[in-house]
């Protein structure tokens, strides 16, 4: 029976001179980055960027240049420590889909957790260009239903905030106006924050917008979503980070878009093409569910 693990869905946001080609070049020709006591790089790359349905596969590898393993000395009936240069500590397979700027990666328990992978991937990509005028972040794609259920537990919302970047190549129809604004301003990043001390909380349509587009991908609100609601939706679609602060039975609660990241189960040692097809299917469903367009 094949072992299965949890794959998390995200998008890669590119800054500066980092474009699609340079990102994929960095994956295929990844440098080695030393962080703490371990080395990090990308191995076993399958470069299918020229295919009709392009993808990049690789393993984010964490290893020790001076590793040690325990061996048995049979004659002495003793356990001994032996040197094991370049000892692999953990490996997380991933797929990158340029059509969606989409990334899916395996969570490796006690090795490469879902909050570690984005930071190490970012460090490797930026190091490929000597950290000069390039930047990237890996932002989670939020599960709308899980996020909505968490928001519904709040008695009131006291604060909404988001930090977002213009997408490429997809955009969400509900926050299309904000996307146009960000591009018109030629901004790489926009931050918004609203807060109130009033007992009834902020007047927001965020829950209504999420609920209705889940019921009907063609849902068209009778109003233009307010900028902060649009920014939180944009963050939830994988183009930034957002949070809501509210009260639940008198206790302050913080709900982040990153805490409801979409994920799925698949083989821990996957066939690259099969994994790419699975990941493409999930991103297509996200686009269809949220009526995201090129």
Q: What is the pLDDT of residue 170?
A: 65
The encoded tokens of residue 175 equal 């926050």
Integer-rounded Cα Rg, in Å, for the chain is 21
The encoded tokens of residue 91 equal 């490996």
Q: What is the pLDDT of residue 119?
A: 97
Indicate yes or no: pTM above 0.95: no
Q: What is the pLDDT of residue 294?
A: 61
DSSP letter, residue 108: B
Q: Pick the closest to residue 112 from 59, 66, 33, 57 (CA basis).
A: 59
The encoded tokens of residue 58 equal 């690789």
The encoded tokens of residue 126 equal 């930026």
- Specify the residue for token string 């994956």: 27
Q: Pick the closest to residue 14 from 174, 178, 129 (CA basis).
A: 129
E strand or H helix that includes residue 210: helix 206-215
**Using an 8 Å Cβ cutoff, are 91 and 103 in contact?**
no
Q: What is the pLDDT along the chain (294 residues), one digit of tens a residue?
A: 678 999 999 999 999 999 999 999 999 999 999 998 999 999 999 999 999 999 999 999 999 988 888 889 898 889 988 888 899 999 999 999 999 999 999 999 989 999 999 999 999 999 999 999 999 999 999 999 999 999 999 999 999 999 999 876 667 878 888 888 888 898 889 999 999 999 899 999 999 999 999 999 888 888 889 999 999 999 999 999 999 999 998 899 999 999 999 999 999 999 999 999 999 999 999 988 887 776
CA 117 to chain CA centroid, nearest Å = 9
Q: Give dist(CA 132, CA 128) in Å, integer.
A: 9
């Amino acid at each position: 029976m094949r072992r299965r693990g949890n794959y998390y869905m995200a998008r890669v946001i590119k800054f500066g001179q980092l474009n699609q080609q340079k990102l994929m070049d960095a994956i295929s020709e990844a440098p080695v980055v030393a962080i703490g006591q371990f080395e990090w790089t990308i191995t076993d790359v399958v470069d299918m960027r020229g295919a009709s349905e392009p993808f990049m596969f690789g393993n984010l590898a964490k290893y020790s240049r001076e590793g040690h393993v325990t061996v048995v000395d049979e004659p002495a009936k003793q356990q001994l420590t032996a040197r094991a240069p370049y000892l692999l500590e953990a490996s997380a397979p991933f797929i990158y889909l340029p059509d969606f700027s989409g990334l899916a990666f395996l969570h490796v328990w006690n090795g490469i957790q879902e909050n570690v992978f984005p930071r190490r991937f970012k460090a490797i990509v930026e190091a490929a260009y000597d950290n000069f005028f390039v930047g990237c972040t890996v932002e989670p794609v939020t599960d709308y239903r899980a996020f909505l259920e968490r928001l519904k537990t709040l008695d009131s919302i006291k604060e909404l905030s988001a930090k977002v970047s213009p997408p490429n190549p997809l955009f969400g129809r509900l926050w299309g106006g904000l996307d146009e604004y960000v591009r018109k301003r030629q901004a790489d990043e926009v931050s918004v924050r609203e807060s109130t001390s009033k007992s009834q909380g902020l007047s927001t349509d965020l829950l209504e917008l999420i609920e209705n587009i889940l019921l009907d991908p063609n849902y068209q609100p009778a109003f233009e979503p307010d900028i902060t609601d649009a920014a939180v939706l944009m963050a939830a679609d994988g183009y930034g980070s957002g949070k809501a602060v509210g009260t639940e039975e008198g206790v302050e609660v913080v709900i982040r878009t990153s805490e409801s990241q979409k994920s799925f189960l698949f083989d821990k040692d996957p066939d690259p093409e099969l994994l790419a097809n699975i990941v493409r299917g999930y991103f297509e469903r996200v686009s269809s569910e949220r009526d995201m367009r090129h």
